[in-house]
Amino acid sequence: MKHPNMKFCVLISILSLIISGFALYQSQQNTIISNNDEIHKAVTIELANSERKLVENLTPNFRLMFEGQSLKADYGENWKPKTIEELATPLMDMVNGLEEE
């Protein structure tokens, strides 16, 4: 003979399984989002380091290029660019100077 509350027990079990599955899904989504944030931070840091190294390597060559120019006073030994934009600024100044002539 079946227990009278058997249908209720099965219903509760199925409902518990569904809720557990949903909770597992949510926890996986939060982990993925957290990992994406960590990956984004790591990539941003690595890109900044790569840019810094590139600028450090190119700065002496840019200084040599400006040696004979009127820009030497602004971009001489004390000039220490940290970004590609700062490194390119003298070139833009040179181009603007050519346009004015």
CA terminus-to-terminus distance, the chain: 104
Region 3-21 average pLDDT: 79
pLDDT exceeds 60 at position 27: yes
Q: Which of 10-14, 52-56, 62-66 has the highest mean pLDDT?
A: 52-56
- Higher pLDDT: 52 or 30? It is 52
Cα angle, residue 44 at apex, residues 43 and 49 outer, rounded to 5°: 95
Q: Give the integer Cα–Cα distance in Å for 11 and 16.
A: 9
Measured CA to CA, the distance from residue 74 to residue 64 in angstroms comes to 13
Kindly report the pTM of this predicted structure. 0.57
- 17-33 mean pLDDT: 80
Helix axes 6-66, 84-100, angle to 10 degrees: 50
pLDDT above 60: residue 63? yes
What is the distance of C-alpha 82 from the center of its chain? 17
